[in-house]
Amino acid sequence: MEHEKKTIVDKIWDLCVSIKFAIVLFVLISVTSIVGTVLEQKGEPSDNIQILSKLFGESLAPHLYAVSEKLGFTDMYHSWWFTAFLMLFSLNLVLCSLDRLPKIWRLIKEPMKPMNVEQLRKLSIQREITIKGKPDTLKNEIKGFLKLMHLNCAETVGDNGYQFYSQKGRYSRLGVYITHLSILIILVGAIIGVRFGFKGYLNLPEGETSSMVFKSEEQEFPLGFDIRCETFQVDFYGNSDMPQEYRSWLTILKDGKEVLKKSITVNDPLTFNGITFYQSSYGMIPNGLERGVFLFNVASAQSEKTVLNLRYGDTFQIPNTSITGKIINFSPAFKMDEHGHTSTYANQMNNPAVLIDFSEDGKYKFSGWILKRYPGTWILPEGQRVEFNDYWGVEFTGLQVRKDPGRWVVYIGFFLIAIGLFIAFFTSHRKIWVTLVEEKNNTRVIVGATANKNKSVFERKIDKMISFLSKKQEGGK
């Protein structure tokens, strides 16, 4: 009974550490992932049905969609079975490593022993050469060569000569384990992040303060502090609509006091109390015209600039003149065609423009569009200036919010995997034995060596030594 039970455990163990199991998992993860890249994840059903009908025809598509939704393919990277594949893959990685570790550890710890000539001739790298002179005269030369290869050698005296042997880079055999371990560390870090951290978002209008963010549409998450968006700005390349930079000026408040001020851009987030705010999107507040403030600098041809903060519909006067202006229209993305028809081409502040009616001494004079991005439109016909700086308070900044206590674990994993890969691929465990045998006033040099990786590099070094020895002999003739 006891015996049978053990064989089952053994069988399961053997299955888990088999390369077949790893291959099956590789294939399962890859094939399901491919399906996941074709179907839009968390997408609209209609989009996915369209993709499916392109691939399989319209009659099959709705059925295929129903099946793939049942199986979780529309949000597959979060499905229980995909997580299970990843877990099994980690298990396989751990077990395979553990299974081989004792053997590798023995190879590392095994002390080098002198070998006889027959054994040397069985090694994967071997060279032989006969040189004039007694072994004693060559002894130091060989030692010097080994030292040049950064090998410190041990030495034994045999019946009719010497043997030097040495090894280097024993621990390079551990590189692959460091790599495997760091993959696990990264996965553990990711799990910590999912379990103890959160992901959320916050659309924060200019000038407003929030003490919480949204985890989902219904679920709020209290921050424990307040965050305020001072202002938001998009810069464009030249006069194009291609954004150059999005920037939000944020302030963190604790108990009503400002504790941190920072402007963030896409690659430069803000972190406070372990919670990070990323610039992710932006947009116009619906029906925000009433809450917005126009920021103008106005001046007559001679006078200094005056700063004005105005609201939609407000009237203002240009200093030292009897000219007044009234804000009567606004367009976030102003466009004028060749016939002079004006329109708004986007619901974003691509090209903000304000229409102002100008009057002199209460009598209507003219109307004009003033564009924020075109300073040429700021100058009135008689030299007065109305500089349009911003329409503040009508945009919101879209922030991606994250708390991830596992982040540093993941980064440690990243660091370790770099070290592990370097050791695994660019260092090797090298062993060399050099035997000097006396043969009638000559010396037979027999070299045997092994390297677990990059054998040819080591071979070349040994060949260099051999050719130097043989040249020396010619020179000595």
Partner 1 sequence: MNSAVFFGLSTMAYIFAMILYITYLAFRKQEVGILATTITIAGFISQTSAIFLRWGEFADLSGMGILKSAPLTNLYESLVFFVWCLILGYLIIEFKFKNRSFGAFVTPIASLMLAFIDLTGVSKEIQPLVPALKSNWLLAHVTMSFFAYATFALSCSTGLMYLILTSKKRNEGSYFFWTITFGISFVVLVAMGIDLLAFKVAVKPDVFIQSYLFKASFLNPSTTIKIISWVMAFTTGILIWRYGLLLNSIVRKFNVTVEMLDEITYKSIAIGFPVFTLGGLIFGAIWADQAWGVYWSWDPKETWSLITWFIYAFYLHGRLLKGWRGKKIAIVAVVGFVAVMFTYLGVNLLLSGLHAYGSG
Residues contributing to the site for partner 1 (CB under 8 A): 19, 22-23, 26, 29-30, 33-34, 36-38, 41, 77, 190, 199, 237, 240, 242-246, 265-269, 276, 278-280, 400-402, 407, 410-411, 414, 417-418, 421-422, 424-426, 456
Q: Cα–Cα distance between 128 and 131 in angstroms, integer?
A: 10
We find the least distance from the C-beta atom of residue 454 to partner 1, in angstroms, to be 8
We find the least distance from the C-beta atom of residue 279 to partner 1, in angstroms, to be 8
We find the least distance from the C-beta atom of residue 378 to partner 1, in angstroms, to be 25
DSSP 170: G
We find the least distance from the C-beta atom of residue 340 to partner 1, in angstroms, to be 31
Phi first, then psi, for residue 402 (nearest 5°) are -145, 140
Alpha-carbon dihedral of residues 126, 130, 136, 140, nearest 10 degrees? -50
Closer of 140 and 240 to partner 1 (Cβ) = 240
* Contact present, 166 and 432 (Cβ < 8 Å): yes
DSSP 351: B
Closer of 8 and 242 to partner 1 (Cβ) = 242
Q: Cα–Cα distance between 115 and 88 in angstroms, integer?
A: 44
We find the least distance from the C-beta atom of residue 221 to partner 1, in angstroms, to be 15
* Contact present, 260 and 252 (Cβ < 8 Å): yes
We find the least distance from the C-beta atom of residue 30 to partner 1, in angstroms, to be 5
Q: Cα–Cα distance between 363 and 344 in angstroms, integer?
A: 29
> What are the structure tokens assigned to 394, written together?
């009508």
We find the least distance from the C-beta atom of residue 237 to partner 1, in angstroms, to be 4
Q: Cα–Cα distance between 15 and 11 in angstroms, integer?
A: 6
* Contact present, 466 and 460 (Cβ < 8 Å): no
We find the least distance from the C-beta atom of residue 409 to partner 1, in angstroms, to be 12
Closer of 269 and 448 to partner 1 (Cβ) = 269
Phi-psi region of 36 (alpha: psi -120 to 50; beta: other; left: phi over 0): alpha
We find the least distance from the C-beta atom of residue 91 to partner 1, in angstroms, to be 16
Alpha-carbon dihedral of residues 223, 225, 228, 232, nearest 10 degrees? -50
Closer of 237 and 364 to partner 1 (Cβ) = 237
We find the least distance from the C-beta atom of residue 55 to partner 1, in angstroms, to be 12
Q: Cα–Cα distance between 363 and 261 in angstroms, integer?
A: 47
Specify the amino acid at residue 394: V
Using alpha carbons only, give the angle 221, 227, 228 rounded to the nearest 5 degrees. Answer: 135
We find the least distance from the C-beta atom of residue 425 to partner 1, in angstroms, to be 5
CA 441 to the chain's CA centroid = 66
We find the least distance from the C-beta atom of residue 184 to partner 1, in angstroms, to be 15
* Contact present, 225 and 273 (Cβ < 8 Å): yes
Closer of 79 and 344 to partner 1 (Cβ) = 79
Contacts (Cβ under 8 Å, ≥6 apart) of 160:
437, 438
Tell me the helix, strand and coil percentages in the chain, rounded to 5: 40, 35, 25
Closer of 284 and 424 to partner 1 (Cβ) = 424
Q: Cα–Cα distance between 439 and 159 in angstroms, integer?
A: 12
Q: Whose structure tokens read 């209460």?
A: 362
Residue 332: exposure state from Cβ atoms within 10 A (0-12, 13-18, ≥19):
buried
Measure the N-to-C terminal CA separation of the chain; round to a whole number of Å: 78
Give the helix/strand (H/E) hosting 14: helix 2-16
Closer of 108 and 266 to partner 1 (Cβ) = 266
Phi-psi region of 107 (alpha: psi -120 to 50; beta: other; left: phi over 0): alpha
We find the least distance from the C-beta atom of residue 242 to partner 1, in angstroms, to be 6
Closer of 31 and 307 to partner 1 (Cβ) = 31
Closer of 424 and 465 to partner 1 (Cβ) = 424
